[in-house]
């Protein structure tokens, strides 16, 4: 009885030897075809499991690309969002996009669905390297963000990081990630480790080290650099920040209304970053535990052949990959500027589909042809002697009244109309009211 080391299927070749040579040759081909077509465990080939895997990974793929793409677009198109911290957040989003592109499809398809690598030798090296770089970029960027936030809050009187310096930090993050992942393309190659792979002439993509000790040392180094070091920095910096912000007055802050608002803003920022840390732990801890256990039991055939192992790997891997979806959700929920930016972009896309029913989507300081100076007063102080009341009925927000004393007005995606003629007539001189209405009709 010969057993396939991949899945434990047994095939009695000795019975075939009892027949003549031609019959032996014919049936050997039939057995090969059977092995190559029905090589997966029965549970893993069920349509329900396959559909579930497809749905879960496609959901992560689409959500991560859309969410992180929106983050990059908001920062790129909004001048006030081009800050040092947001540059780091964009770099984090880019790393998550690359992780989504290289880790999601190139992991679950060969590992769970096909059980072999169909993309060739070059892609084996390129994909393994890109996967490691993208994961390390995300980890190193979170480390840079935590240090930047710590300096800003704990040492407010020190000069802040300039945009040029931030770009150098981003360059260092990518360089460090590439250096850390440099050994991976060297040791990555195609293999045929089992009888099934040899019989069916299919390969797997894996790492081939000169010794098990080298593999173990590099795995431990990656564990420290990708998970332990960033997690330690995040916990230490944010714990210190949280203790300072909630436990007393932050250094350099006075006790007045303005600085109270600043402190409130810092507390909101700390809540967001603590949420980021918690999500990072919950997403990556299971997979790192799985990798450690797999390394410890590397030569344990009973451990590797456990029927539930593919399901455990799927759960841990999917949870780690889903981390690329969560940061944009956190920013949208806890940061009003990102939320407004997301709404503007999505609103602009909706307006493009409804050109006939809505005005062009653009931010304007003119409310249906009425300049801001007409609403605020010629001196621009907001103390206009004109008594008109105008209403912007916006499609994406509640109606906003603009009257005497208003200092600003923003009309987005608006179908704007003046206040009722009766109210306008009672508040506005007849000549002025007529001239105003002429701008509407």
* Domain shared by 19 and 148, yes or no: no
At 134-145, the pLDDT tens digits run: 999 999 999 999
In a domain, 63, yes or no: yes
What is the mean predicted confidence (pLDDT) over 316-320?
93
**Predicted confidence (pLDDT) at residue 436 exceeds the cutoff of 80:** no
User: CB–CB of 120/204 below 8 Å?
Assistant: no
Angle of CA points 345, 347, 353, to nearest 5°: 110
Q: Residue 24 is part of which domain span?
A: 2-37
Does residue 288 share a domain with residue 169?
A: yes
Lowest mean pLDDT: which of 138-152, 161-175, 402-416?
Answer: 402-416
Whether 53 and 98 share a structural domain? yes
Q: What is the tens place of the pLDDT at every residue in 353-384?
A: 555 444 444 443 333 344 444 444 444 444 33
Question: Which tens digits make up the pLDDT trace of 249-261?
Answer: 555 555 566 666 7
The mean pLDDT value for 233-241 works out to: 89
Per-residue pLDDT at 63: 95
Please check the confidence at residue 430 and state whether its pLDDT lies above 80. Answer: no
Q: How many domains does the chain contain in total?
A: 3
Q: Is residue 135 domain-resident?
A: yes
In a domain, 355, yes or no: no
Higher-confidence position of 285 and 271: 285
Q: Which contacts of 10-16 are long-range, i.e. CB under 8 A and separated by 24 or more positions?
A: 11/35
Identify the pLDDT of residue 44: 47
- Give phi and psi for 404, each to the nearest 5: -55, 140
pLDDT bin (cut points 50, 70, 90) of residue 93 is: very high
Pair (90, 211) in one structural domain? yes
Q: What is the CATH number of the domain that holds 220?
A: 1.20.1070.10
- Average pLDDT estimate for 38-66: 77
| CB-based contacts of 17-21 (< 8 A; 24+ apart in sequence) | none
Which range in 123-132, 189-198, 199-208, 417-426 is most confidently predicted, on average pLDDT?
123-132
| 3-state secondary structure (DSSP) of residue 189 | strand
């Amino acid at each position: 009885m010969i057993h396939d080391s991949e899945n434990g299927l047994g095939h009695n070749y000795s019975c075939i030897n009892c027949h003549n040579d031609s019959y032996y040759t014919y049936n050997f081909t039939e057995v090969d075809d059977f092995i190559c077509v029905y090589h997966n465990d029965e549970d893993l080939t069920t349509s329900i499991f396959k559909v579930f895997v497809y749905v879960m990974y496609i959901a992560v793929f689409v959500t991560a690309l859309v969410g992180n793409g929106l983050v990059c677009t908001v920062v790129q198109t909004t001048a006030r969002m081009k800050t040092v911290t947001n540059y780091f957040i964009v770099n984090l989003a880019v790393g998550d996009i690359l992780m989504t592109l290289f880790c999601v499809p190139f992991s679950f398809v060969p590992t769970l669905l096909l059980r072999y690598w169909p993309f060739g030798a070059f892609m084996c090296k390129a994909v393994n390297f890109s996967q490691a770089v993208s994961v390390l970029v995300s980890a190193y960027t979170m480390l840079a963000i935590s240090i930047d936030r710590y300096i800003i809050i704990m040492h407010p009187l020190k000069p802040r990081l300039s945009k040029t310096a931030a770009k150098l930090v981003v360059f260092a993050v990518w360089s460090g990630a590439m250096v850390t992942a440099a050994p991976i393309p060297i040791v990555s190659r195609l293999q045929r480790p089992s009888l099934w792979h040899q019989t069916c002439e299919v390969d797997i993509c894996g790492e081939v080290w000169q010794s098990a000790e080298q593999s173990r040392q590099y795995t431990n180094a990656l564990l420290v650099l990708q998970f332990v070091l960033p997690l330690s920095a995040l916990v230490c910096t944010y714990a210190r920040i949280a203790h300072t912000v909630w436990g007393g007055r932050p250094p350099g802050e006075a006790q007045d209304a303005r600085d109270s608002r600043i402190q409130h803003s810092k507390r909101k920022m700390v809540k967001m970053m603590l949420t980021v840390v918690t999500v990072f732990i919950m997403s990556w801890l299971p997979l790192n535990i799985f990798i450690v256990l797999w390394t410890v039991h590397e030569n344990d055939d009973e451990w590797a052949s456990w029927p539930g192992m593919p399901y455990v790997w799927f759960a841990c891997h999917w949870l780690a990959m889903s981390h690329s979806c969560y940061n944009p959700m956190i920013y949208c929920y806890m940061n009003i500027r990102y939320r407004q930016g997301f709404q503007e972009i999505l609103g602009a896309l909706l307006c493009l589909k409804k050109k006939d029913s809505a005005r062009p989507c653009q931010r304007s300081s003119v409310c249906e042809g009425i300049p801001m100076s007409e609403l605020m007063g010629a001196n621009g102080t907001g103390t206009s002697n004109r008594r008109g009341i105008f209403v912007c009925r916006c499609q994406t927000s509640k109606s906003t009244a603009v009257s005497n004393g208003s200092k600003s007005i923003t009309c987005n995606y608006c179908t704007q109309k003046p206040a009722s003629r009766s109210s306008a007539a009672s508040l506005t001189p007849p000549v002025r009211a007529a001239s105003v209405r002429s701008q509407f009709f």
